[in-house]
Amino acid sequence: MFGYVIANLEGLTQAQKDRYKGCYCGLCRVLKQRHGFSGRLTLTYDMTFLVLLLSALYEADEERGMEVCPAHPLRKHFYWQTRYTEYAADMNVVLAYNNCRDDWQDDGSALKYWEAEALSARSAAVRARWPRQCAAIEQCMAELSAIEQAADEVISGKLLDNFPLVVWQTGSGTQSNMNSNEVIANRGNEIAGKKLLHPNDDINMSQSSNDTFPTAMHIAAVCAIEDKVIPAIDTLTATFRRLEAEHEGVVKSGRTHLQDATPISFPQEISGWRTSLERDREMLLLAVKPLKELALGGTAVGTGLNTPKGFDTTVAAEIAALTGKDFCTAQNKFHALTSKDEIVFAHGALKALAADMMKIANDVRWLASGPRDGLGEIFIPENEPGSSIMPGKVNPTQCEAVTMVAVQVMGNDVAVSMAASQGNFELNVFMPVCIYNFLQSARLLAESIVSFNDRCAVGIRANREKMEHNLHNSLMLVTALNPYIGYENAAKTAKKAYKENISLKEACVSLGFLTAERFDEVFHPENMI
């Protein structure tokens, strides 16, 4: 760890704060004396704590004084140092050199290369002065470098052939975890050209399958929702918003129970679809929050056996930095290992999205049914021939794909829920099947929504003539007459019009409820929305 320790002086007495600041200034002073002005640029809080720790553990003579600080040249600053300050200064330079080299190897930064070159000679001098300590540092850096490179190759997909395991394995995911440990260790040894790494001692260090697998589950679930599902929802939502604007003023017949109902505007109908997706989005973001708590650090049963203090919070912070997502450590590791309620909750939000997509897709294919003998109120893109025997037939394939995905997601929800219930004592033992179904649901929904958007929704157009015909042919327009002739008379009007296949106006006038002139005054379907 180099440059990771952050000073927090809260709760310290003034004397303790003064000693800390003096130690920091003393280390800076010694760095200049031993390694020149550039040596000061490598100063970190890590080595300040090292000086304080060693000076507290072992008796050492102290040196105190006042000296002008190069960062604040107008006044003198108090410094405090011991014989361990020199040691810390040397270690600071070696660690800085290795850190720069590592950064340069990672991203090819020219700046890091020249920083490493500038420290190379001084680092060599320190290695000659402290050979045993520097050898240990370099051994550790070599191990970390090999692990990092091997892990990067795993992430890139280069080593996929080395992961033959399927879902149906031990329910804790131990086999998958050990598979990863062995691949990283063996590949790391190949990179190093010698046996540096052991799968358990070096790769699985401070970890257990019981906390690494649920951690991986949560990371994967969060990334799937935030990076795939949410953007897919946003894409389709934007399309619906555009369709609302494009069809402003278009009025059509509403429908309830698959029966004619009072009028609605086409933008109002589309707004119902859009708002369903927006609400699903809100629920998914709500469900994601608990998933950002990670089990890592609980090890075998939640006690954190074999982990150094602060391991869980440090690793969670590093994962957050690597992913750009605000992961944190779970407050109760016993719950984190045995319960999968966060996964169930989040998958419930995915199921809600699936239910809404089922409804939207069904609405679209009902409205597009025909082209002559169905509702035929909208046109959808004709993507491909729809029949092997009926020429010219075009089917709503994207709608059918979405509805099949919805069915699969609903089935997956049962599997996820059942798997989550198998938390016997300190560990859930259905984790692989749980996350398998979760990720499948997220992937299928994201991909099907994008496909539905690109190959169907973007091309939806209103059949205005058919909408107008159906609107004015609807018997439920009679509802507009309720304030003038009452519910019972309006019902009689509708039934007469239906039985005799005449207009509502003709039926109402023939029954003597309104004159033709009065009917025209009060009957305006476009005002019923």
For residue 270, what are the contacts with CB-CB under 8 A and spacing of at least 6?
240, 243, 244, 247
Residues 6+ apart with CB under 8 A from 524: 480
Q: How far is CA 301 from CA 298, 304, 320, in A?
A: 7, 8, 24
Catalytic residue, candidates 72, 156, 257, 388: 257
Is 71 in contact with 41 (CB distance < 8 Å)?
A: no
Count other Cβ atoms within 10 Å, centred on residue 499.
9
Q: DSSP letter at 374?
A: S
What DSSP letter does each residue of 122-167 carry, written as one string? HHHHHHHHSHHHHHHHHHHHHHHHHHHHHHHHHHHTTTGGG----S
In 10 A of CB 157, how many CB atoms? 8
The separation between CA 364 and the C-alpha centre of its own chain, rounded to angstroms, equals 30
Residues with Cβ within 8 Å of 38's Cβ and at least 6 positions away in sequence, in order, are 118, 119
Task: Please give the span between the terminal C-alpha atoms of the chain, in angstroms, as a whole number.
Answer: 66
Alpha-carbon distance of 453 to 445, in angstroms, equals: 12
Q: Do the beta carbons of residue 507 and residue 500 sit within 8 Å?
A: yes
- Cβ atoms of 343 and 335 within 8 Å: the answer is no
Catalytic annotation present for 257: yes
Residues in the chain: 529
Kindly tell me the sign of the dihedral angle through the C-alpha atoms of 116, 117, 119, 120.
Answer: positive
Among 452, 286, 440, 460, smallest CA distance to 357 is for 452
For 456, the token pair is 């169907």
Side chain identity, residue 514 = L
| Catalytic position from the list 120, 387, 472, 524 | 387
Counts for the chain of helices (H) and strands (E), in that order:
19, 10
CA-CA distance, 440 to 409, in Å (whole number)?
Answer: 8
Task: Provide the token pair at 439.
Answer: 């990720």
Tokens representing 312 are: 């869980």
CA distances from 160 to 145, 165, 437, 528 (A): 21, 11, 20, 61
Report DSSP state, residue 203.
I
What sign does the CA torsion over 478, 483, 487, 489 have?
negative
Helix (H) or strand (E) holding 261: strand 259-265
Q: What CA–CA distance (Å, rounded) separates 362 from 322?
A: 41
Three-state secondary-structure class, residue 378: strand
Instruction: List the alpha helices (DSSP H) in 426-501.
Output: 431-455, 464-473, 482-485, 487-500
Q: What is the CA radius of gyration of the chain?
A: 35
Residues that are catalytic: 257, 387
